[in-house]
Amino acid sequence: MSRVLRAGAIMAAGTLVSRVTGFLRTAVLAAALGTAALGDAYNVAYTIPLILFDLLLGGALSSVVVPMIVRAHRRDPDGGLAYEQRLMTFATVGLTVVAALAVFFAPQIIGLYTDDWQGPKLEAAIMLARFILPQIAFFGIGALAGAILNTRDRFGAPMWAPVLNNLVMIGVGLLYLVVSDAGSSVEQVSEADLTLLGLGTTAGIVAQCIVLIVSLHRAGFRFRPRFDLRNAYLGEMARAAVWTLAYTVISQFTFWITTKLATGAGDRAPGAGNAAYSYAYQFFQLPYGIIAVSVITAMLPRMSRSVADGEFGVVREEFSSAVRLVSSAIVPAGLLLMVVGPAVTVLIFGHGNMTIAHAIYIGNVLQVFGLALVPFSVFQLLLRVFYSFGDTRTPALVAVANAVVSAGFSLVAYWLLPAEYIVMGLATAFTIAYIFGSAVLWRLASRRVGGLDGRRVAAALSRMYVAAIPSAAFALAVLWAAERFGSGLSVLTSLIVLVAGGGLGLALYLAVAHRMRIPEVHSIVGMVAGRVGRG
């Protein structure tokens, strides 16, 4: 437990700056563009390069590319340098061609993710996409550079490069607020405004890519184009990546359905469409990204070594410790999001061209996502059990079932709910899918390793929820008082709710959990107290 805690804390501290600046970026862009037509158009154009990159390379990086680079380091006489150069050559040429094709077919690609968009909204989305789609090449080159750096135990640049991207985007959003007269109106936005947003967005990724390439050069890598791809083991890579690619394709298919339905909802209820879903989802990812990702990164190498040694008992203990440690922070975070979600989003998004009503709606969607925080995190931890065995097939097959559940409930929400509730219904479908997926994966993983310490995990989760309920009730009381005596949520009352309800509510959880002697919380409190005492 202490090893996971220490390693996770170190990485969490590094990712915190990136996550915080990322949310400042999101808040500035939301203030500049709102959540109506222009906000929807930007968010669709912004998301597509991420999807295409994930399909082409992103999903295979950690599960396939990095292990093959490590093997090349050990296998090749030159320490794998030529192999790295071949990969970089292949990625640069291939992704550049894909980016050029994507720009050419931008109207058709936008059409795949939208629902009967016409006029200025469609034109804005296509123009933004043509400026933003070149990111595909820079995403891929930067990601591969970061992967090579990680195999050389250079983690600083991959950790900090996204911060530069966020800062560039914050500058772009603020500049748009200053120079544009269009505000959030897609009818009034000019070509100059769209050029600023599109080129500025791509400039952030270019800056991130340059930082990673420079860092790779300083680490001793010298790029030399190599087109002898027969020695790049691309066939071996393709065979290893086939199930990872299948998992990514299935996940993106689910995302495509969600985006399509969310954009349709936004056409029927402006401000309650894809932008609202996207902003709420990004905030939902914050506690997972800071807490769970750090623990996952720390536990996976040890689990992999234990599997190789046939020590399934160690695997079981590593997984159990990771779930309990993550849940000790995720459980109260999820409950508090379910209570103070609107206060969070009003404080962050209730500025500029974003109305308070639209900011509150994002918070309502965030409240639904709060239900998903625990099952989503447990699902991701369960995936790593299979990855430690080198099994990418089982996650892909479970992803099919997940997609069916998610798509089914999403379509029901779209057909049956009033337009203003559709996006909340999509978040509910997301939650149900991950509850289902976690149950299936748990059963399969338990069979694989001879049990996952389920009773101990269930008992720990039950105690954490008991400890978190008073904090959620306290936050709810503060929210009720602020709305009753403050004439509804405003930026000021939201700040009061977060400081008094969220901050003191979290302190109450820590106190109750510490009193209940929940060991994971006890470890966190002890570590923080010790560091403060030494400071």
Residue 412, pLDDT score: 95
pLDDT over 90, % of the chain: 30
DSSP 353-390: T--HHHHHHHHHHHHHHHHHHHHHHHHHHHHHHHHHTT
At residue 235 the predicted structure's pLDDT band, cuts being 50, 70 and 90, is low
Q: Where are the alpha helices (DSSP H) in 221-355?
A: 234-268, 274-287, 293-308, 312-349
What's the length of the chain? 535
pLDDT over 70, % of the chain: 86
The mean pLDDT of the chain is: 83
Residue 532, pLDDT score: 40
**Highest mean pLDDT, choosing among 302-306, 337-341, 478-482:** 337-341
176-205: pLDDT as tens digits: 999 988 888 888 999 999 999 999 999 999
> Residues 29-39, buried b or exposed e (16+ Cβ, 10 A)?
bbbbbbbbbbb
Place of tokens 């400081």: 499
At residue 531 the predicted structure's pLDDT band, cuts being 50, 70 and 90, is very low
What six digits make up the tokens of 350? 């209730």
Residue 197 to residue 200: CA distance in whole angstroms: 5
User: Does residue 309 surpass a pLDDT of 90?
Assistant: no
Residue 416, pLDDT score: 94
User: pTM value?
Assistant: 0.78
As a whole number of Å, the end-to-end CA separation of the chain is: 24
At residue 15 the predicted structure's pLDDT band, cuts being 50, 70 and 90, is low
Min mean pLDDT across 239-243, 353-357, 476-480, 488-492 is at 239-243
- Read off the pLDDT of each residue in 163-188 and give the average, rounded to a whole number: 90
Residue 312 to residue 495: CA distance in whole angstroms: 48
- Mapping DSSP to helix (H, G, I), strand (E, B) and coil, where does residue 484 land? helix
Domain boundaries, given as residue ranges, for the chain:
1-21+240-466, 36-232
More confident residue, 275 or 199: 199
Residue 282 to residue 285: CA distance in whole angstroms: 5
Min mean pLDDT across 92-96, 383-387, 428-432 is at 383-387
**Is the CB of residue 329 less than 8 Å from the CB of residue 345?**
no
311's CB contacts (< 8 A; 6+ apart) are none
Min mean pLDDT across 153-167, 213-227, 328-342, 453-467 is at 153-167
421's CB contacts (< 8 A; 6+ apart) are 413
184's CB contacts (< 8 A; 6+ apart) are 32, 33, 34, 36, 38, 39, 353, 354
Residue 278 to residue 395: CA distance in whole angstroms: 25
285's CB contacts (< 8 A; 6+ apart) are none
Residue 149, pLDDT score: 83
Distances (CA, A) of 407 to 117, 138, 181, 376, 378: 22, 32, 40, 17, 21
At residue 90 the predicted structure's pLDDT band, cuts being 50, 70 and 90, is confident
Residue 222, pLDDT score: 84
42-83: pLDDT as tens digits: 988 988 888 777 766 655 665 567 667 777 777 778 777 888
Q: What is the CA radius of gyration of the chain?
A: 23
